[in-house]
Structure 1
Amino acid sequence: MVEIDYSLYLVTNRKNKSKEEFLKIVEESILGGVTVVQLREKETSTGEFYKIALKLKKLTSKYNIPLIINDRLDIALAIDADGVHVGQSDMPANIVRNMIGKDKILGVSAAKVSDAIEAEKNGADYIGSGAIFPTQTKNANCINLSYLKEIIDSVNIPVVAIGGLSQENISSLSGVNLKGISVVSAIMDSENPKKSSKNLKKEFESL
């Protein structure tokens, strides 16, 4: 598999946005430095999810940016997405790996060392770990930095920090061997997604 740059990983939130506005935000974020896009649609019908995924795949392919689909393996396969991301309560990682094959990207959320080790064993390419800070987009318990380091040290695959990350608090991750940061609101709710992406990337690269 081609090595993936996880440094600035955008998880989408399309709430209260038109399709055009949504796609514009994602495009601006890519131009600002986003390296991976994950499409997350928790409250959308399958038909609608498929349509927006198809449009987003066209956009990310234009810029050669990997498109990961959150949870929905069927959508990922239908649009030939670059990968799938699953949580601990979604379809088991080893089953997903068997279904998408060895060349697609598989991400797994893990907030425990044991879950991270299991994910790697089951074929994950990277781990999304957090929440680092409280977040409005997902109800998740926070983990401290020393435990995040334990998770990173327990696996041989990249770990991306998730949860409540913004330009103001990324510096607190200094000294942690992360391969990337995952953000939602810091870009999706920004008045200037391109500028916000540039600033977030700069903050991460200075860790």
Structure 2
Amino acid sequence: MAKEINADGFHTNFENFINKNIEFNGLIGVSVHSLEEAVLAEKNGASYLLASHIYKTDCKKGLKPRGLDFIKSIRENTFIPLIGLGGINDENLEDVILKGADGIAVMSYIMADENPFKSAQKLKNNLIKVR
């Protein structure tokens, strides 16, 4: 679909990225859940990494979060942009950035808020302070 609409890029999971012969002339983001996946994704041409999940989150109920050291280990072993995901909010995003993430992605934080615009604005303002 990304090819058909001439998209600048698309995002996929690690298994699809490694197991399918993806030919795409643009950005390709890859979700990773281990250091090994991150290194392999970079080695195979990923444009950026989405590492998850960092903190406890309702989107991954019952699964143990990987924590900030997960971000740190990926940052120490890869060079492409790194995005943290999972349980990130306006109070802990600074820690994710300081451990080496280039940015963050959120789901529950905004979807569960009565005022998603306001929660997104908080994230933006806190990211500006960290940088």
Q: What TM-score do you get using the length of structure 1 for normalisation?
A: 0.55
CA–CA separation in structure 1 for the residues paired with 2:7 and 2:108? 23
Q: Does 1:183 align with 2:109?
A: no
Q: Is the 8 A contact 1:128 1:161 kept in 2?
A: yes
- Specify which of 34, 48, 51 is matched with residue 112 of structure 1: 34
CA distance 1:79–1:189, shift in 2 (3 Å): farther
SS of equivalent residue, structure 2 residue 109: helix
With normalisation by structure 2, the TM-score equals 0.83
Question: What amino acid is the match of 1:122?
Answer: N
Identify unmatched segments of 5+ residues in structure 2.
none
Question: Is the partner of 1:194 in helix, strand or coil?
Answer: helix
1:159 aligns with 2:85: no
Residue deviations 1:36-87 (CA, integer Å, cap 9, x gap)? xxxxxxxxxxxxxxxxxxxxxxxxxxxxxxxxxxxxxxx3223332212121
Q: What is the aligned length?
A: 129
If asked which structure has higher relative contact order (CA below 8 Å, sep 6+), I would say 1
Distance 2:17 2:48 in 1: 16
Q: Does 1:100 align with 2:24?
A: yes
Over residues 4-57 of structure 1, what are the superposed CA-to-partner deviations in whole Å (9 max), with x where a residue is unaligned? xxxxxxxxxxxxxxxxxxxxxxxxxxxxxxxxxxxxxxxxxxxxxxxxxxxxxx
Going from structure 1 to structure 2, the CA distance change for 1:147 and 1:186 (only over 3 Å counts) comes to closer
Q: Secondary structure at the match of 1:127?
A: strand
Distance 1:77 1:138 in 2: 30
Can you give the 5+ residue segments of structure 1 that lack an aligned partner in the other structure?
Answer: 1-74
Please give the root-mean-square deviation of Cα atoms over the aligned residues, in Å: 2.2
Residues 1:172 and 2:98 are matched in the alignment: no
